[in-house]
Amino acid sequence: MGKSESQMDIVEKSSRSGARRWSGAEIGLTVLVLLLSGAVAALLVLHTARESSFHKASVEAVCTTPGCVTAAARLIQNMDPDAEPCQNFYQYSCGGWLDRHVIPETSSRYSVFDILRDELEIIVKGVLESEQEEEQDRDAFQKAKRLYQSCMNESLIELRDSAPLLELVSRIGGWPVASADGDSSREEPWSLEDTLSTLTARYHKKALLDMFVWTDDHDSSRHIIYIDQPALGMPSRDYYFSDGNYKRVRDAYLQFMEGMAAMVRADRGLARNDSFVREETERVLQLETDIANATSPPEERHDVTLLYHKMALTEVQQKFTLNGFNWTRFMQGVLSGVNIDLLPQEEVVVYGGPYLQKLESILQAYPVSTVQNYLTWQLIIDRVGSLSRRFKEARANYRKALYGATVEEARWRDCVRYIQSNMENAVGALYVRESFAGESKRMVSGMISKIRQAFIETLDELHWMDQRSKEKAMEKAMAIKEQIGYPDYIIEKGNPKLDMEYAHLNFSELNYFENILENLRAGAQKSLKKLRERVDPELWIIGAAVVNAFYSPNRNQIVFPAGILQPPFFSQQQPQALNFGGIGMVIGHEITHGFDDNGRNFDRDGNMLDWWSNFSASHFKEQSRCMVHQYGNYTWRLAGGQNVSGISTLGENIADNGGVRQAYKAYLQWVQKEGEELRLPGLDLDHKQLFFLNFAQVWCGSYRPEYASQSIKTDSHSPLEYRVMGSLQNFGAFSEAFHCKQGSAMHPEEKCRVW
């Protein structure tokens, strides 16, 4: 689990290489595409404007460049022209997209982000399977390819079957439910401290409790140990208690656990004993349910200033005895793998105090064998995807109940995603070299400057904030650091830093399962060894081949990986109205994260510090309550009519609202300086309207009901439709652009605004 950076949204995407010249024949083909799409007028417009595509003398002049024609075709295809924009702008913008796209049987959700991610993965697949001579001396690339090859070696994975899993179970002390009469056959007495330290340090698995090393919220230059409540086996607490789809998932989860235990028993040559397996797994599920009940729900963990409790390790031992649990033994066991000794008065930050207080009575209520069964199961459940097909088949019903997907992803996609997430800089370098136009970095940097300035100017419009707090906000906004595209060193041939990142890893093409275990250990060690290191402010928090954007409150830093710098978000060839409505909105979104309900607790240097006056802090909460109420009143039919959590999604909603407002302001300033842009062919929309159209189309997508039920409980973002509707209902400039009457659905009487 551990702490994570603030994310923009549903992640993922891919990129195309630099500008490409189109021939007249290609332009003609695109005109035909537009004609077939229903944009008949485009043919006449292109005919009359062909000789003067960049001439601005006429208001009706139309842009006929390949970039403009392509953008127009995309926008038109995605729209529903029969929908009324002032009643439902999401349907107006995305109705065509929703009609044309069916969620693949392998997926739980399908969106613009998912399509871009799928395209990016095709590019990554190509470079991982290539055998270019120039790569032979790049150790990082060779290791990434070797790991990929081991993942793709399905015949060997089938041949090895359960052997790697049985060895793993033996290595961690056994699995009582899969042993004779529940005996784990350990020679030494079982130790909870030692088992948890092994899971944490060797397998990067956080079960029962979560210990991790992260930047100290109160001192962004150093790292510190955190203790928190763990992630659960199922996605959220609701799956353990609620009815409907949650109960269906719960039943399938129990069947999955039973099936896995029975298979391991059989492979170890033990008698079937179905009643014993059922009793033991039901007891494990009851333990998990008690653990879930002890965890605090997201709504109660929203204020990081209330979560943070720094204390000496001795105080942790006194406050949270956990039925005789030795905290020093556990933590020293975790750190021994990176040769770090605990200090006599080691400081620890406890995030999960209420959970730890409840955990003691839970541990007292269950025998050691049940706790051991639970911990082993938590490790095993994550490894099923790397085993033979029969284990995946045992998981199929659970996966279908949880996601609604009926078919496993293509093997190569699973392998690409695994390499991406575990060797992100190596994959990022391969991707950037193959598909990223370097000029984009300069252009996006210029947009960041414009939107940052728009945010600062917007502060003058806020009557709820006093001057002292506005000045502090301006200082923080000016101090936000930016990372765009990729770190330079990953593509510098003479720079050994990339290869050094993976020097400690040795992969075999024959042992995918063991390669995964090595990655788990390396990941744990990479995190833990930072405890005595100073924070590196230049470190990238994400790889380049990612379709997403990020803000880090501890670093006061925004990051825009190469993967998101492509249409519909950004293109050097598409109108600036679309760029500002796309990547511009993303930039504004990430800047605003520095001032949302979480980010506002950190100062310009990334330290958790209250820089607000009482007046401004009080009014910030008042402004925020409006959005909590607004989004909390949205009901999501796909999730069984449940209401969106206005509290859990508040930070992202604030960022969405602020982001589109700042990007629009920056675009109008750009127009004032550079002049009106040419119109797009086939679209009777001005560029203010095109800004909002592209903003909305970024969020086109649909969900399966099973995933909607999960997302509404676990995602900090509102459903895609409400990200668009909520932001624009609050923005008067949208209503002006589309001439919406006050009182219409998109122009309500009451509007919410924080930034």
**Is residue 557 within a helix (H) or strand (E), and if so which, with residue range?**
strand 557-561
**290 in active site:** no
Q: What is the pLDDT of residue 717?
A: 97
Task: For residue 5, name the pLDDT band (cuts at 50, 70, 90).
Answer: very low
Mean pLDDT for the stretch of residues 412-425: 97
* 321: containing domain: 189-387
pLDDT in tens, 20-78: 222 232 233 333 333 334 443 333 333 333 333 323 334 569 999 999 999 999 999 99
Mean pLDDT for the stretch of residues 484-506: 95
Residue 234 lies in a domain: yes
Residue 377 lies in a domain: yes
Q: What is the pLDDT of residue 7?
A: 41
Q: Are strands 347-350 and 642-643 parallel, antiparallel or unpaired?
A: unpaired
Which two tokens mark 357? 């207080």
Which two tokens mark 228? 């928190």
Task: For residue 183, name the pLDDT band (cuts at 50, 70, 90).
Answer: low
Task: For residue 438, name the pLDDT band (cuts at 50, 70, 90).
Answer: confident
- Buried b / exposed e over 586-612, threshold 16 CB at 10 Å, is bbbbbbbbbbbbbbbbbbbebbbbebb
pLDDT in tens, 684-730: 999 999 999 999 999 999 999 999 999 999 999 999 999 999 999 99
Give the integer Cα–Cα distance in Å for 466 and 620: 11
Mean pLDDT for the stretch of residues 648-671: 98
Task: For residue 440, name the pLDDT band (cuts at 50, 70, 90).
Answer: confident
Residue 240 lies in a domain: yes
Residue 219 lies in a domain: yes
Task: For residue 1, name the pLDDT band (cuts at 50, 70, 90).
Answer: very low
Task: For residue 181, name the pLDDT band (cuts at 50, 70, 90).
Answer: low
Task: For residue 134, name the pLDDT band (cuts at 50, 70, 90).
Answer: low
pLDDT in tens, 273-302: 999 999 999 999 999 999 999 999 999 999
Please, are residues 227 and 200 in contact by the beta-carbon 8 Å criterion?
no
Residue 326 lies in a domain: yes
pLDDT in tens, 92-110: 999 999 999 999 999 999 9
Residue 554 lies in a domain: no
With a cut of 50, say whether residue 463 has pLDDT above it: yes
User: Residues 6 or more apart from 269 whose CB is under 8 A from it?
Assistant: none
Give percent above pLDDT 90 in the chain: 87
Q: What is the mean pLDDT of the chain?
A: 91
Task: For residue 135, name the pLDDT band (cuts at 50, 70, 90).
Answer: low
Angle at 377 between CA 152 and CA 291, to 5 degrees: 130
Give the integer Cα–Cα distance in Å for 47 and 30: 13
Burial (CB < 10 A; 0-12, 13-18, 19+), residue 319, is middle
**Cα dist. 659→8, 15, 374, 545 in Å?**
11, 23, 44, 23
Mean pLDDT for the stretch of residues 456-472: 97
Q: Please report the DSSP string for 593-616 in residue order.
A: HTTSTTGGGB-TTS-B---S-HHH
Options 193, 590, 597, 603, the catalytic residue: 590
Give the integer Cα–Cα distance in Å for 659 and 11: 17
Angle at which helices 66-78 and 89-100 pack, to 10 degrees?
Answer: 90
Q: What is the pLDDT of residue 14?
A: 30
pLDDT in tens, 565-576: 999 999 999 999
Alpha carbon of residue 501 to chain centroid? 23
Q: What is the pLDDT of residue 593?
A: 98
Residue 518 backbone dihedrals phi, psi, to 5 degrees = -65, -40
Instruction: State the CB neighbour count (10 A cutoff) for residue 261.
Output: 26
Residue 54 lies in a domain: no
Mean pLDDT for the stretch of residues 531-551: 95
**187 in active site:** no
Task: For residue 136, name the pLDDT band (cuts at 50, 70, 90).
Answer: low
Residue 340 backbone dihedrals phi, psi, to 5 degrees = -115, 130
Options 280, 424, 656, 721, the catalytic residue: 656
The more confidently predicted of residues 36 and 595 is 595
Residue 643 lies in a domain: no
Per the DSSP assignment, residues forming a β-bridge with 111 are 701
Q: What is the pLDDT of residue 58?
A: 41
pLDDT in tens, 239-281: 999 999 999 999 999 999 999 999 999 999 999 899 999 999 9
pLDDT in tens, 186-207: 556 899 999 999 999 999 999 9
CATH number at residue 329: 1.10.1380.10
Phi-psi region of 174 (alpha: psi -120 to 50; beta: other; left: phi over 0): left
Q: How many domains does the chain have?
A: 1
Instruction: State the CB neighbour count (10 A cutoff) for residue 578.
Output: 32
Give percent above pLDDT 70 in the chain: 90
Give the integer Cα–Cα distance in Å for 199 and 214: 18
Residue written as token pair 């063991």: 514
With a cut of 60, say whether residue 121 has pLDDT above it: yes
